[in-house]
Structure 1
């Protein structure tokens, strides 16, 4: 019988609860897929710990919202807040299901782990050694992201009481301490240097094992694409809330529809592959991953639903998202802009602005009409009329808008 932590009503800031749920939900997605990639029981266990924290947060948030509703008008404004709380909890539960693929040793083909590093940035955990050059220095002093391209997306540290705490949105002023567990995100080649500097030990990437069955390879590729699109949808959903942007919310709806179509194709390829491998049970993990990933994209759509329906959402939603100090922008590349005709790497977009381009959408009429380039790399070309979806600071967003030749507007 499940016995969770007892939660009683206490006055809490709805904004603070929503902000922590947002940061935790995004961290959970990263950790869960990383646990699968590395076959890491430790990372999977961290996911379940954070999932339990989310259970408490969603109960506190619901209680506070219910206490705040005193009229029909209040109920109309606060209904979207409850929707966001519920959707964030769904993301958490889906991440927990992904982690259990590792902890319960559900069958998963090696080709899954081989495919992920090629498709997306990797997340690893590195514990800061006592003699690490990072120990005792702030992220600003280390200047890690600028010099290596690797980001610290969270820090887990143990208090004197032995109880762990999380810094889910570390900034330049965050001091790294010996014994801190850093959650690092970046590409394999860059991660190696940072991991070894932090820990003093060698970085060992997951062993690659190519698929031996074409249909299985297609199934794995579709799951990787579903993962990328679902993560992007969550980012965009929170951005739609922050700026009450129907344009961004519509992008979330399109991504959710794409994930649904991919899941349908995934099911067909998986069934075909099952007839051609010796042990079809090893495909159970893929089925679990696809199901959980589809739930994440559905939750992203629910987060942005208030914007799509034209409801007047309570200002606390935008305030909570803004607490993360990161913004989502949607900009078009002008024909005569500094970006048109080059690649993301050639134009040094991240170095020049501090913004991360998380997706590029090709324009209608292009030879790849409406195609999404999810998690674009340095070699991704930027063309006139491309739509860039980028995430970073407000100052960085203003600089990127100048480079793109598209005046910054958050209320499309």
Structure 2
């Protein structure tokens, strides 16, 4: 199946389509993690992301309508609007999951047992100005090697960076979202908060 974004001449529209896809995927990951660890902070982040989803969705649909006016290609615009609706349905489902934690709703024991079968967790941490992670890149600190945790997204202010690579920068105040084994979470958080420090050997 061809990517809906193929053939879109408006670069900003294509970027928004990619962002809404990445945002929905992160929301699902965070929602399940908030439920697994009864983490209200992560649950709240899901609702913050939902606000961004609605903003992007509205902008994409406005751009799609403009495409019709410019190119008279109603079919392409309809496909884009349908895609936005489908992705937003996924994000709404994520908020329902996170809402269990946010509003302190009861969960069935079977749900908790099934979730805990996963060996990979999603966690987050804010980078302190005294952290070894501040003002560097993911490649320079070899975070995945040293902690077992892989950064899946970075939040800087109101902007999210998805799928960061070795060249992606980390700054003080960034909110890092990471996935990996549960036993790597504490060290990852301590590094971000400046409670632990990397050794020269870690950087080789």
TM-score (norm 1): 0.44
Equivalent positions of 1:17-166 (< 5 A) are: 35-37=1-3, 108=4, 112-113=5-6
- Which residue of structure 2 aligns with residue 265 of structure 1? 59
Contact 2:153 2:162 in 1 (8 A): yes
Structure 1 stretches of 5 or more lacking a match? Answer: 1-34, 38-107, 114-208, 363-368, 408-412
Structure 2: 5+ residue stretches without partners: 196-204
8 Å Cα contact 2:61/2:80 also seen in 1: no
C-alpha contact (below 8 Å) 2:155/2:176 kept by paired residues: yes
Q: 1:345 to 1:318 in 2, by over 3 A?
A: farther
Instruction: Name the residue aligned to 2:110.
Output: 316
Query: For the structure 1 residues 230 and 353, does the alpha-carbon distance in structure 2 shift closer, same or farther, using more than 3 Å as the test?
Result: same
**Displacement of 1:284:** 2.7
1:228 to 22, 29, 36: 22
- How far the C-alpha of 1:392 sits from its partner, in A, is 1.0
Q: 1:394 aligns with which of 182, 185, 202?
A: 182
Give the structure 1 partner of residue 202 of structure 2: none
**Greater RCO, 1 or 2 (C-alpha within 8 Å, sep 6+):** 2
Q: Residues of 2 paired with 1:269 and 1:376: CA distance?
A: 27
Return the alpha-carbon distance in structure 1 between the equivalents of residues 59 and 77 of structure 2: 15
Deviation at 1:356, TM superposition (A): 1.8
For the structure 1 residues 406 and 318, does the alpha-carbon distance in structure 2 shift closer, same or farther, using more than 3 Å as the test? farther
What secondary structure, in the 3-state scheme, does the structure 2 residue paired with 1:377 have?
coil
What are the within-5 Å matches in structure 2 for residues 231-270 of structure 1? 231-270=25-64
- 8 Å CA contact 1:343–1:382 kept in 2: the answer is yes
- CA shift at 1:406, angstroms? 6.1
Q: What is the 5 A alignment of 1:344-383? A: 344-362=138-156, 369-383=157-171
Q: Which has the larger radius of gyration?
A: 1
> What is the TM-score with the length of structure 2 in the denominator?
0.86
The CA deviation at 1:280 is 2.6
1:17-76 deviation line (CA, Å, top 9, x unaligned) = xxxxxxxxxxxxxxxxxx544xxxxxxxxxxxxxxxxxxxxxxxxxxxxxxxxxxxxxxx
Question: What residue number does 1:331 align with?
Answer: 125
Deviation at 1:399, TM superposition (A): 3.2
Residues 331, 406 of structure 1: 8 Å contact kept: no
Q: Deviations over 1:148-195 (max 9, x none)?
A: xxxxxxxxxxxxxxxxxxxxxxxxxxxxxxxxxxxxxxxxxxxxxxxx
Question: What is the total number of aligned residue pairs between the two structures?
Answer: 195
Structure 1 pair 236–406 and aligned structure 2 pair: CA distance change class (3 A): farther
Deviation at residue 266 of structure 1 after TM alignment: 0.9
